[in-house]
Amino acid sequence: MANDLHTEGFTNPLSNPGASNAAIQALLSEAQGQVAKPQIELPAGGNFRLPGGLVQGSDYTDTRYDAEVRELTGADEEALTKARSGGVGKFITTLLQSGTVSVGGQKASAALLSNLLLGDRDMLLLEIRRATYGDEVVWDQFSCPWCSEEFRLAVTLDEIPIRRMENPSERVFEVELRRGRKAFVRLPVGADQEAILAVVERATDSEQNTLLISRVLISVVESNGSENAVTGNPEFARSLGILDRKAILDAIEKNQPGPQYNEVKFTHESCGKEVPLFITAGDLFQGL
Ligand SMILES: [Zn+2]
């Protein structure tokens, strides 16, 4: 509350950092003197079901869906501020590592999180957001794309549709290519996202697509029935026709489970038009 601010004796840390630090230290020790045993509350958290699931072993018989996240704390905020300078990939990885407690009964580790489908990672981000900032995402000055009116827009996280995978085996699927060929493709996981985000600032969208396709393409079956393994082969990904590449990327998009951030829409009452809303991770974590 602005009215309650005590500005008397205020030391500007920019003009006098030494005095300011000393004042802060004095305040901290004063505070410690008052509260002998500081009460440290455990961060709030939540349990929920992953839309894709963590596959154990080589088949899909032991797929685990339970996950737990917790509220981000000041220590996490410090780590995230540092990670931000390392780019988007580092930021998202740090966010997931900070806020995820466990997945499938296992403590969250970097390796485990890299193994999760992008849709499951999006779900973790959504729930970390809920535990940290609550259910409501607010835009103070949202501008209607139809009538340009500016207003305060609030959307609750429950308005974001969640697509759930019916069967864990759907993470590998077939895509029809032209001229009687077909491809076996797997859904991208965290490790793929990390590889792409690591080059996002120097690679074009097409180059990022080449990298993604070369990672998730398992094999291609020719029209004569012969099958060739093509994983990790950027040259092969480049050799595919533009329409075949598009078919693969569209199938990945269509099959990925998780929060559908670009399927949120609302009706603007003033103009009566339906407004599509494209929610990004940046909107979810506006404070960071
Ligand atoms: Zn409008």
Task: Give the model confidence (pLDDT) of 214-229 as tens digits.
Answer: 999 999 999 999 999 9
Question: What are the tokens at 264?
Answer: 């949120």
**Could you tell me if residue 18 is inside a domain?**
no
Output the domain CATH number for residue 192.
3.30.2220.20
Between the CA of 271 and the centroid of ligand 1 the distance, in Å, is 4
In the chain, which ranges are E strands? 45-56, 62-70, 100-103, 106-107, 136-143, 150-156, 162-163, 172-176, 182-186, 217-221, 227-229, 258-259, 264-267, 274-277
Residue 1 has pLDDT above 50, yes or no: no
227, 144: one domain:
no
Which residue range is the domain that position 94 belongs to? Answer: 45-163+261-284
**Could you tell me if residue 141 is inside a domain?**
yes
Between the CA of 276 and the centroid of ligand 1 the distance, in Å, is 11
105, 193: one domain:
no
121, 186: one domain:
no
Residue 2 has pLDDT above 50, yes or no: no
Query: What distance in Å separates the CA atoms of residue 224 and residue 247, rounded to the nearest whole number?
Result: 21
CB 120 within 8 A of CB 50: yes
pTM of the model: 0.81
Between the CA of 90 and the centroid of ligand 1 the distance, in Å, is 37
pLDDT band at 3 (very low <50, low <70, confident <90, very high): very low
Tokens 């092969």 map to which residue? Answer: 236
**Could you tell me if residue 153 is inside a domain?**
yes
180, 210: one domain:
yes
191, 53: one domain:
no
Tokens 């990945």 map to which residue? Answer: 252
Whole-angstrom CA distances from 268 to 112, 149, 261, 275 are 42, 10, 19, 7
Query: What distance in Å separates the CA atoms of residue 57 and residue 189, rounded to the nearest whole number?
Result: 16
Between the CA of 270 and the centroid of ligand 1 the distance, in Å, is 6
98, 209: one domain:
no
274, 149: one domain:
yes
**Could you tell me if residue 4 is inside a domain?**
no
Between the CA of 144 and the centroid of ligand 1 the distance, in Å, is 5
Percent of the chain with pLDDT over 90: 72
200, 240: one domain:
yes
155, 192: one domain:
no
pLDDT band at 245 (very low <50, low <70, confident <90, very high): very high
DSSP states of 43-93: PPEEEEEEEEEEEESSSSSEEEEEEEEE---HHHHHHHHHHHTT-HHHHHH
Backbone angles phi, psi at 220, to 5 degrees: -125, 130
Between the CA of 164 and the centroid of ligand 1 the distance, in Å, is 32
Between the CA of 85 and the centroid of ligand 1 the distance, in Å, is 37
**Could you tell me if residue 240 is inside a domain?**
yes
226, 91: one domain:
no
**Could you tell me if residue 38 is inside a domain?**
no
98, 172: one domain:
no
**Could you tell me if residue 35 is inside a domain?**
no
Residue 90 has pLDDT above 50, yes or no: yes
Number of structural domains, the chain? 2
CB 78 within 8 A of CB 151: no
129, 197: one domain:
no
Q: 176-223 pLDDT, tens per residue?
A: 999 999 999 999 999 999 999 989 889 999 999 999 999 999 999 999
**Could you tell me if residue 57 is inside a domain?**
yes
pLDDT score of 97: 96
The residue among 126 and 10 whose pLDDT is bigger is: 126
Between the CA of 87 and the centroid of ligand 1 the distance, in Å, is 35
Between the CA of 284 and the centroid of ligand 1 the distance, in Å, is 23
Between the CA of 256 and the centroid of ligand 1 the distance, in Å, is 31
pLDDT score of 195: 94
